[in-house]
Amino acid sequence: MTVEVPEVQISEHVELPAARTALLVVDMQNDFVHPEGSLFVPDAPKTVPIIRNLIERAREAGARVVFTQDWHQPDDPEFAIWPRHAVAGSWGAEVVAELEPLPGETRIHKLRYDAFYGTPLEHLLRLWRIEKVVVVGTVANICVLHTAGSAALRWFEVVLPADGVSALTPFDMQAALRQVGFLYHGKITNSQGLVFT
């Protein structure tokens, strides 16, 4: 069976007010990004320099940068779905060294795919008067999609730079882009087309 992928509209240039924008770096952790990680995503390493550049530009412009980390207890029921990964306090749960958060930058330890579920993320974004979120990281159709969707359902405007997102398969990537653009009315762009003002 052949499935036709609907066209995803790409915004070549997106300007975002830094004071009202947060960059959400989703799960760029050793277990997903490092080749020795327990749930390694082969396309994730090539997004590291792209995400690093976005982080640097966001910091320079004064936008908030938030890092999410999958954060599981040793007996987490999710391990019946996925192999053991991102156990709290372990090497696998740490953000990869190339993207290490600065002291004082926010880390959200999340329990499931959605970074808003059971965390203070929405509360913090409201305190900071954030209106727009840029979502990058891994995995496209899992934690990135659920976090982007949850942000949109809370009426944050979502921007997804596709070159800063990794997936397990091309289908998964296209499905995530389609959902963010079509269902959640987010803007799909690339990292170079994104400008913090």
The residues assigned a catalytic role are 143
CA distance linking residue 110 with residue 115, whole number of Å = 5
The residue ranges of DSSP E strands in 79-150, in sequence order, are 106-110, 132-138
Contact between 51 and 99 under an 8 Å Cβ cutoff? The reply is: yes
Cis peptide before 139 (omega within 30 of 0): yes
Contact between 112 and 78 under an 8 Å Cβ cutoff? The reply is: yes
Task: Taking the CA atoms of 85, 88, 90 and 95 in sequence, report the sign of the dihedral they define.
Answer: positive
Burial of 187 (0-12, 13-18, 19+ CB in 10 A): buried
| Number of Cα atoms under 13 Å in the Cβ half of residue 122 | 15
